[in-house]
Amino acid sequence: MNELRHVARWGDPADAVTLSPGVRDLLGSALGVRGPRPAAETADLHPSSLPPAALADLVTACPRVHTDDAARLAHAAGKSTEDLLRLRAGQVHDAPDAVARPGSHDEVAALLAACARQHVAVVPFGGGTSVVGGLAARRDGFAGLLALDLAGLDRLIRVDPVSRTATAQAGLRAPRAERLLNAQGYTLGHFPQSFEYASLGGFAATRSSGQASAGYGRFDRMVVGLKAATPVGTVDLGRAPESAAGPDLRQLLLGSEGVFGVITELTMRVRPTPAERHYTGWVFPDFATGGDAVRSLAQDGPLPTVLRLSDEAETAINAATGSGPGGDGGCLAVVGVEGTKAEVAARSEALHARLTALGGTPLGETAGEQWRAGRYRAPYLRDALLDAGALAETLETATFWDRLPQTYAAVREALVATLADAGTPPLVLCHISHVYDTGASLYFTVVAAQADDPVAQWRAAKTAAGEAIAASGATITHHHGVGRDHRPWYGREIGPVGAAALRGVKEALDPYGILNPGILLP
């Protein structure tokens, strides 16, 4: 089944990555990868179980409701490695019974009202790039499960050049949003690795963070206003950039992962499109020295637009596989500056002096540009690794600077120990991916040989890593969100009183409990 092959991968097949014979040999000799596993030809898609009366009610709310296999399959999962492994095995238990494609806020609201009447569970679907099971809502106890695909809400509504804000519909995908804004001289500056497919509403619903977060900030900090449809009515928030009028209700919707309402419109701060970009590579003798340098920039400046630091293992593997510069040891930092010509010149010069004083050695622009050119390549590489019989997945966390070394060591040890116990000594790579004056995010990549049950293998490793993160005092997620996979740890982070407060909000906004059951809420 072609659709199955397509949904079980990332992106356009024309951009697929092929592993070189050298890398294949290395996977076999260093990691014990045993070669490709058979992929299923067909999916175990259950027949749509929506009662005819419920379907008719949904169609009255929005005529574009589809129950064909192709539409349901395309909305059956997100893009975590577990999702891709299950899809490759033909397992699509989480597939919705129907897919609705509303074209307006009012249609979204009407669909939610119909779902409430018919007791149909709803999964808001943006770009479908969740890596935490955020699209795997529970269906038990409901008359059916509806994927509410927001791709039809794809308009840039207005740009306000005086306030420097842009208002857009939430289903707008990131590349198109950037193109439309660029045409008017602006950028959002939000470039996560999932940029090619993710939507603005998805960014808001998961508190996403992009690769240029040092300069442009996290997505939730860009949002100044939002509109959401809930089963009990509409909320329209953000009449001023900041306000002292009580708790900021925008924050309740940001990161709410579709459990409180469906975000249909966002007003975001935008910046002028940078006239100039200057990306350079730097090498530090080790992760500790590089980490101190990165912290120094985050706390005392000058702060670049992009700032990331790979550990020794990530630097070495990227150099060996041609994905990055280096090769003589040490740790690679990528330092990118964007802005006007004068700003970029001044900041680059100041950064050069500061990074040199902090122990860095410049590798020049080619190294920085090499990273920029390949920055959306990792998910294509993951497909090639899965094809070859390797397990490849990432996870992330954030903590305060004083605890960062402990978290780094604890997560690495947990991953290595769990996967080696299963007979597959893994590669564990890490980089500092987002920085703040008080702390940073660590992003881990794991590559190992696939065991007979790779889903169970990764779950065990991920559980061990989650426990190590919790024990070291870090958060279970800095930017991927909670979804289904991080719920137990999220519950522990916010405690019983926090969980009760969220349940109270849920009761007020979604008393029927139809929005994303089983997601986020502990």
Q: Could you tell me the CA-to-CA distances from 509 to 259, 345, 515 in Å, in that order? A: 9, 50, 10
The binding track of 468-487 with respect to ligand FAD, each residue x by CB under 6 A or -, is -----------xxx-x----
Nearer Cβ to ligand FAD (122/416): 122
Evaluate whether 468 touches 345 at the Cβ level (below 8 Å): no
Q: Could you tell me the CA-to-CA distances from 431 to 221, 255, 336, 374, 419 in Å, in that order? A: 23, 24, 16, 16, 20
Which residues are bridge partners to 307 per DSSP?
335
Can you list the positions of beta strands (E) in 238-352?
262-269, 271-272, 276-284, 306-310, 331-339
Q: Which residue is nearest to ligand FAD (CB)?
A: 202
Question: Residue from 102, 126, 189, 522 that binds ligand FAD (CB under 6 A)?
Answer: 126
Question: Residue from 65, 100, 212, 263 that binds ligand FAD (CB under 6 A)?
Answer: 263
Name every residue whose Cβ is closer than 8 Å to that of residue 85 and which is 6 or more positions away in sequence.
386, 454, 455, 458
Please give the single-letter amino acid code of residue 159. V
CB of 290 to ligand FAD, least distance (A): 20
193 binds ligand FAD (CB under 6 A): yes
Question: Residue from 62, 78, 424, 521 that binds ligand FAD (CB under 6 A)?
Answer: 78
Evaluate whether 214 touches 305 at the Cβ level (below 8 Å): yes
Nearer Cβ to ligand FAD (215/330): 215
325 binds ligand FAD (CB under 6 A): no
CB of 520 to ligand FAD, least distance (A): 7
CB of 379 to ligand FAD, least distance (A): 4
Nearer Cβ to ligand FAD (103/330): 103
Angle separating helix axes 81-88 and 454-471, nearest 10 degrees: 170
Question: Residue from 95, 109, 262, 358 that binds ligand FAD (CB under 6 A)?
Answer: 262
Counts for the chain of helices (H) and strands (E), in that order: 19, 18
Residue with tokens 């659709």: 3
Question: Residue from 127, 215, 238, 439 that binds ligand FAD (CB under 6 A)?
Answer: 127
From the list 35-43, 201-209, 275-283, 446-454, the region that binds ligand FAD by CB under 6 A is 201-209
Evaluate whether 129 touches 202 at the Cβ level (below 8 Å): yes
Q: What angle do CA 243, 505, 154 make, to 5 degrees?
A: 70
Evaluate whether 174 touches 190 at the Cβ level (below 8 Å): yes
From the list 1-9, 197-205, 356-364, 422-430, the region that binds ligand FAD by CB under 6 A is 197-205
519 binds ligand FAD (CB under 6 A): yes
Size of the site for ligand FAD (CB under 6 A): 38
458 binds ligand FAD (CB under 6 A): no
Please give the single-letter amino acid code of residue 157. I
Name the residue among 465, 391, 378 with its Cα closest to residue 424.
391
Question: Residue from 96, 238, 291, 379 that binds ligand FAD (CB under 6 A)?
Answer: 379
The binding track of 169-188 with respect to ligand FAD, each residue x by CB under 6 A or -, is -x------------------
Q: How far apart are CA 522 and CA 492, in angstroms?
A: 9
257 binds ligand FAD (CB under 6 A): yes
258 binds ligand FAD (CB under 6 A): yes
**Which two tokens mark 120?**
């149909």
Question: Residue from 128, 290, 324, 368 that binds ligand FAD (CB under 6 A)?
Answer: 128
Greatest alpha-carbon span in the chain: 71
Q: Could you tell me the CA-to-CA distances from 205 to 106, 333, 370 in Å, in that order? A: 19, 30, 31
440 binds ligand FAD (CB under 6 A): no
Which residues are bridge partners to 146 per DSSP?
98, 122
CB of 275 to ligand FAD, least distance (A): 25
Neighbours of 104 (CB within 10 A): 14
Q: Could you tell me the CA-to-CA distances from 131 to 80, 136, 419 in Å, in that order? A: 4, 11, 20
Q: How far apart are CA 408 and CA 314, in angstroms?
A: 13
Question: Residue from 96, 102, 103, 124 that binds ligand FAD (CB under 6 A)?
Answer: 124
189 binds ligand FAD (CB under 6 A): no
99 binds ligand FAD (CB under 6 A): no
Please give the single-letter amino acid code of residue 245. A
Bond from prior residue into 38 cis (ω within 30 degrees of 0) = no
Nearer Cβ to ligand FAD (4/262): 262
CB of 256 to ligand FAD, least distance (A): 7
The binding track of 203-242 with respect to ligand FAD, each residue x by CB under 6 A or -, is x-xx-xx---------------------------------
Which residues of the chain form contacts with ligand FAD (CB under 6 A)?
Answer: 78-79, 123-131, 134-135, 150, 170, 192-194, 198-199, 201-203, 205-206, 208-209, 257-258, 262-263, 379, 479-481, 483, 516, 519
